[in-house]
Amino acid sequence: MNYLMAKKEPRERIITGLDIGTTKVCAVIGELGYGSKVDIIGIGSSPSRGVRRGVVVNIPRTVEAIRQAIEAAEGMAKTKAHSVYVSVAGAHISGATNYVSIDLPGQNQEVRHSDIQSLIDAAGDITVSQNREILHVIPREYTVDDQDGIHEPIGIFGARLGLKAFLITGSSPPIQNVIKSVRQANIKTEDLVLQQLASAEAVLQADERELGTVLIDIGGGATDLAIYTKNHIRYIAVVPIGGEHFTNDLSIGLHTSIPDAEEIKRRFGCAMSTLLLENEKIEVPGIGGKQSQQVPRKFLCNILEPRAQELFELVDEEIGKSGYRKLLPGGAVITGGGSLLAGMSEIAGEKLEIPVRCGFPDQPGELGEMLANPIYSTSIGLLMYGAKRKAASSENRPTSKFDYRSISSKFRDWFFNT
């Protein structure tokens, strides 16, 4: 055990990710090991009935689901989750690249931490109106005078310091509703993390971020995108279609209940008809005492396929809008529970015309194996995100990529996204 680890209180080594999703609230507790390695020691999940399309719409129900998820995770971990890294999602969130610059005091002076602080403040002041909050400030590069492409500006001499950063902001009320729900469950919010940023943490590989890849998190209520190239996040978007839309379509098309439609979708559903064998039949239970019926599996596909096409057409539009269509040799990584529908990666590949793979979180240990399912990508990603942040702050690395967080309490996040 190294010296820093020995000094740490057990409480400081506990990290908890809390994913407040549309279909489930999931808490994952981990223990920080060496560096930013984290061992998963507890998990709890509870059905979510107070969230719609990623946004809290009923606080008491959300509080109850948070309590249940946290209690279950604490029971398994045999420890308390004192504070949590919480996911945030919704159509109110937007991201944009901004450039700001400030004069350095004195004619020719070394860049100091305090100058970076002023720069961040300036970035926040120009972009955020009264009812929006900054979730993440992700620096891309600094400029000192005419020199661009600088990643570690501290100590460099110059007269003017500039910053190009990707700012992710959200509307205050939905963000406050998340914080309030967590507070009412008697837990402290350590930090808020954009859902697709957390999922990317869990499922994107380093070379994918470098090459250029679009992450597509297909949740229950919506699908969240994040485009990465050259190790940086470049674009985010939300498409208003998730797994629940597929289930609703099936329920209507098969005249069956939502729970039955959900089960049929998971067991027999397929998003691409060309993948099916001829003449496959399945038994569909009737509702309200009606007789069950035999239907060809192709019939399910005829209902699900148009929805999948619509989803990936909207994703494709967003990729077009981003301007990065030609810069995605890493293809697409689909994750979230919706990615589990058979044929989803195939139809995504056909519509987007890029290689597509399914992103499963991959953590060691017994619990890690249990959580190797795309419905847990965000929860695991929150844990990994928290572990990196805690490791960086406890080691007190002055040049840490994560160290900038402490510069300004005004910002929820400040890190190089590599």
Ligand X SMILES: Nc1ncnc2c1ncn2[C@@H]1O[C@H](COP(=O)(O)OP(=O)(O)OP(=O)(O)O)[C@@H](O)[C@H]1O
36 or 247: CB nearest ligand X? 247
- Report in angstroms how near the CB of residue 307 gets to ligand X at its nearest: 12
Contact flags string 365-384 toward Mg ion, x per CB under 5 A: -------------x------
Q: Is residue 139 part of the contact set for Mg ion (CB under 5 A)?
A: no
Distance between CA 174 and CA 241 in Å, rounded?
A: 20
- Report in angstroms how near the CB of residue 61 gets to Mg ion at its nearest: 17
Distance between CA 353 and CA 350 in Å, rounded?
A: 5
Which of the stretches 182-190, 228-236, 292-300, 335-343 binds ligand X when contact is defined by CB under 6 A?
A: 335-343
Residues 373 to 402 in contact with ligand X, rule: CB under 6 A: 375
| Beta-sheet pairing, 14-20 with 83-88 | parallel
Which of the stretches 8-16, 97-105, 219-227, 362-370 binds Mg ion when contact is defined by CB under 5 A?
A: 219-227
Q: Closest by alpha carbon to 233, among 138, 315, 317?
A: 138
Q: Is residue 242 part of the contact set for ligand X (CB under 6 A)?
A: yes
128 or 282: CB nearest ligand X? 282
Q: Can you spell out the DSSP letters for 246-290?
A: HHHHHHHHHT--HHHHHHHHHHH-BS-GGGSPTT-EEEE--STTP
Q: Is residue 330 part of the contact set for ligand X (CB under 6 A)?
A: no
Q: Which does 24 bind (CB under 5 to 8 A by kind): Mg ion, ligand X, none?
A: ligand X
Q: Which of 42, 50, 338, 386 binds ligand X (CB under 6 A)?
A: 338
Residues 57 to 116 in contact with ligand X, rule: CB under 6 A: 89
Q: Is residue 340 part of the contact set for ligand X (CB under 6 A)?
A: yes
Distance between CA 383 and CA 389 in Å, rounded?
A: 10
- Report in angstroms how near the CB of residue 173 gets to ligand X at its nearest: 18
Sequence-distant (≥ 6) Cβ neighbours of residue 110 within 8 angstroms: 154, 155, 156, 157
Q: Closest by alpha carbon to 304, among 249, 254, 252, 352?
A: 249
Distance between CA 226 and CA 237 in Å, rounded?
A: 7
Distance between CA 38 and CA 31 in Å, rounded?
A: 5
Q: Which of 212, 219, 269, 381 binds Mg ion (CB under 5 A)?
A: 219
Q: Is residue 367 part of the contact set for ligand X (CB under 6 A)?
A: no
CA distances (Å), origin 246, targets 229, 303, 344, 349: 31, 8, 12, 19
Query: Could you list the residues that contact ligand X (CB under 6 A)?
Result: 21-24, 54, 89, 219-222, 242-244, 247, 262, 265-266, 336-338, 340-341, 375
